[in-house]
Amino acid sequence: MDRLAYWRKQARLIIRRSEALQSLSSEELATFAREMKWKARSGVSLSQILPEAFALTIEASHRALGKRHYEVQIMGAQAIFEGHIAEMQTGEGKTLTAVLPVALRAFVGKGVHVVTANDYLAARDAEEMGQVYQQLGLTTGCVTQDMSDSERLEMYARDITYGTASEMGFDFLRDRIKKGADSGLLSSRKIFTEETESSMPVQRGHYFAMIDEADSILIDEARTPLIIGVQEKNKDAVISLYRWCRTAIRNLEINRDFLFDQRKRTVFLTESGCRHVTLMSKPVLLDTIDTEQIYQHIEKALTAELAFEKDRDYVIDDGEIVIVDEGTGRKMEGRKWQEGLHQAVEAKERLDLTESTGAAARITIQALFRHYEHLAGMTGTALQARSEFKRVYNLKVSVIPTNRPCIRTGSPTRVFVDQSSKFDAVIAEVKTHIMGGRAVLIGTPSVEASHALSIKMKEENLPHTVLNALYHDQEAEIVKQAGQRGRITIATNMAGRGTDILLSEEVRKAGGLHVIATEMHSSKRIDRQLIGRSARQGDPGSYQFFLSLDDELLRVMRPSQLQSLKRRANPNSNGELSSSWVRRFESLQGNLEKRHVHLRKQLLKFDKDQKKKFRQMGLDPYLEVAES
């Protein structure tokens, strides 16, 4: 019997057991929960008590939330318990599914971490699902960015703790810093920040982590290490250097004075460029700075100018640069680019320069989650990354069937010569669906693109709502309303992930939510996540891609290649190209995916080598940056 068939058979047995518990009083249910906890903590195999524990949790869910688990949700829960990534489609109720394995693991009493995509989802799920855990005699906590050490200590002491990967990762690092300071390892440098209140670690261990949106956290975020920085006051000469570089780069010419690789986001001065920079007139303050450092800052200023765009890579929020996550379109509060790049971007935007940061401790997502004794997760898009999940985390991917058949339909992809022609076609398509009584969700790859399309919409007098990194706080409410008749929602590709779009009856009868993807992302999984917002739980729905030769995906090409491509284009009177052009986009996307896999492989190898080297030296591998 294959695993899915076994899980389905078990799910039916568990449902029958849960129905038998409906007659129990609240006191009897609480007694049953205490028995489960006693068995789990006395060494009885969790696999042995799984059917009873799942049945108990299903009944607790019904009493607390009025919800009972579907058969497929119980199948997904078994996959998670067995240490798999459960691929479950959007709208299949992953949050409720996770309650079953999380409660079972929590009965052991070693602490369970539930990792979510952002603070809002962590707080929401902790509050809602906490009602179920309370019925089982389990305590629930949630760690968020603004908490003190004492508050974090309390949250981690509870049976189940919700939080983001970055919060849990930074807490891991802060605990390592405390341990290093206690041992005298870090006595030579003051690296504690003001918020560090005591030397007591806040986390009590790493027993089990259940990761929501596992592909986003374990794969897409794996390229960006978590780094705790030591603030170093900027000297007047350094501030003057950043300001001077901002204007000096205007006198430099690409391919003569410097080389720019757009794919790698790197800039290198040529010999000609170095001579040019050396001969430029400079403020007196710069006399104290060596020439090599000036070259490095010029390269950083060029990188900030050419490779990082406002409203795509970052936004300006209350006078500060806030990084925008490439995959989700969400603001990454508290994150900074390293090695002076963040200050170079601030100088570019004529903002006050924040203090530069050196690294005190560093860990990658890959290294962080390999610390857990048990690891599992769930997402709507995991199958395409199954080999990487297996290789890096030793996690299998199991595709769980939908509760009801998926009736989503797709229309052929359309390609246009430029963004203007594409947006005209998008607006015409939107008008057609709105007149038909449907709701439309339009996915864009960046804040910049969402603004550009919004301007076009306003010119056409089309009422709409924009959801991007600038409106993070209203995210859940905007998404909830996106399924109403005539509603047009423009969103960065993954904004609103984790919140269901509920359709009105009118929209359901008219054909459901129509999703328009205005570009292909660098990963096919993220495209799948966007179109998966429609046709949930057997609802009708449809999607279509609209592409152009101005799309961000094509920016990985050399400028000369892109110009040559545009010259060969032969659009019709509406600026549309033949369907054969779709293959070029698919090929570029595939190449980018391979490149990102390669980068993550390199990062993993570097991590393993560093860990081995520093362990041999008797040093903490996560604090090595502070001592280098």
Give the whole-angstrom CA distance, residue 293 versus residue 245: 11
Tell me whether residue 73 is annotated as binding.
Answer: yes
- pLDDT recorded at residue 328: 58
Tell me whether residue 94 is annotated as binding.
Answer: yes
- pLDDT recorded at residue 360: 72
Q: Tell me: pLDDT of 470 over 60.
A: no
Structure tokens at 44: 């009885």
Task: Name the CATH superfamily housing domain 407-577.
Answer: P-loop containing nucleotide triphosphate hydrolases (3.40.50.300)
Structure tokens at 341: 């790049």
Tell me whether residue 500 is annotated as binding.
Answer: yes
Overall average pLDDT of the 274-279 stretch: 92
Q: Measuring CA to CA, which residue among 589, 588, 587, 577 is closest to residue 412?
A: 577
Tell me whether residue 109 is annotated as binding.
Answer: no
- pLDDT recorded at residue 264: 75
Give the residue extent of every domain in the chain. 3-229+365-399, 234-354, 407-577
- pLDDT recorded at residue 628: 38
- pLDDT recorded at residue 449: 84
Residue linked to tokens 């390892």: 185
Give the range among 7-11, 47-51, 292-296, 427-431 with minimum mean pLDDT: 292-296
The CATH class, in words, for 234-354 is alpha beta
Q: For residues 616 and 432, which has the higher predicted lDDT (pLDDT)?
A: 432
Q: Annotate 147-197 with DSSP letters as a single string.
A: --HHHHHHHHTSSEEEEEHHHHHHHHHHHHHHHHHHTTTTTTS----TT--
Q: Tell me: pLDDT of 179 over 70.
A: yes
> Which residues are 440's β-sheet partners?
488, 514
End-to-end CA separation in angstroms for the chain: 54
Residues 85, 389 contacting (CB under 8 angstroms): yes
Tell me whether residue 456 is annotated as binding.
Answer: no
Q: Tell me: pLDDT of 451 over 90.
A: no
Pinpoint the alpha helices (H) of 257-320: 271-279, 291-307
Residue 563: pLDDT band (50, 70, 90) is: confident
**What is the per-residue pLDDT across 477-535, written as a single tens digit (0 to 9) for each?**
777 788 899 999 998 765 555 667 889 999 999 999 999 999 998 888 888 888 888 88
Residues 161, 143 contacting (CB under 8 angstroms): yes
User: Three-state SS string across 9-62, please?
Assistant: HHHHHHHHHHHHCCCCCHHHHHHHHHHHHHHHHCCCCHHHHHHHHHHHHHHHHH
Q: Measuring CA to CA, which residue among 131, 153, 10, 9 is closest to residue 62?
A: 131
Structure tokens at 349: 């935007």
Residue 358: pLDDT band (50, 70, 90) is: low
pTM for the model: 0.82
- pLDDT recorded at residue 499: 67
Strand order across the 374-379 sheet = 140-142, 160-164, 112-116, 208-212, 374-379, 84-87, 396-399
Give the whole-angstrom CA distance, residue 509 versus residue 96: 27
Residues 162, 124 contacting (CB under 8 angstroms): no
Q: Tell me: pLDDT of 593 over 70.
A: yes
Q: Tell me: pLDDT of 143 over 90.
A: yes
**What is the per-residue pLDDT across 524-541, written as a single tens digit (0 to 9) for each?**
888 888 888 888 888 999
**What is the per-residue pLDDT across 283-318, written as a single tens digit (0 to 9) for each?**
888 888 889 999 999 999 999 999 898 887 888 888
Residue 195: pLDDT band (50, 70, 90) is: very low
Tell me whether residue 91 is annotated as binding.
Answer: yes
Give the whole-angstrom CA distance, residue 386 versus residue 214: 11
Do 407-577 and 3-229+365-399 have the same topology in CATH? yes
CB atoms within 10 A of CB 39: 17
Going by DSSP bridges, is the β-strand pair 439-444/112-116 parallel, antiparallel, or unpaired?
unpaired
Residues 143, 171 contacting (CB under 8 angstroms): yes
Residues 422, 549 contacting (CB under 8 angstroms): no
Long-range (24+ apart) CB contacts under 8 A made by 563-567 are 566/417
Structure tokens at 252: 């430099």
- pLDDT recorded at residue 480: 73
H helix or E strand, kind and range, residue 627: helix 624-627
Structure tokens at 496: 């609103």
Give the whole-angstrom CA distance, residue 56 versus residue 50: 10
**What is the per-residue pLDDT across 215-270, written as a single tens digit (0 to 9) for each?**
989 998 887 788 776 666 778 888 999 999 999 999 999 989 999 887 778 899 99
**What is the per-residue pLDDT across 82-121, written as a single tens digit (0 to 9) for each?**
999 999 988 889 999 999 999 999 999 999 999 998 888 8
Tell me whether residue 92 is annotated as binding.
Answer: yes
DSSP conformation class of 338: T
- The vertex-383 CA angle with 379 and 385, nearest 5°, equals 95
Q: What is the CATH number of domain 3-229+365-399?
A: 3.40.50.300
- pLDDT recorded at residue 192: 43
Q: Tell me: pLDDT of 453 over 50.
A: yes
- pLDDT recorded at residue 354: 85
Residues 54, 70 contacting (CB under 8 angstroms): no
H helix or E strand, kind and range, residue 505: helix 505-510
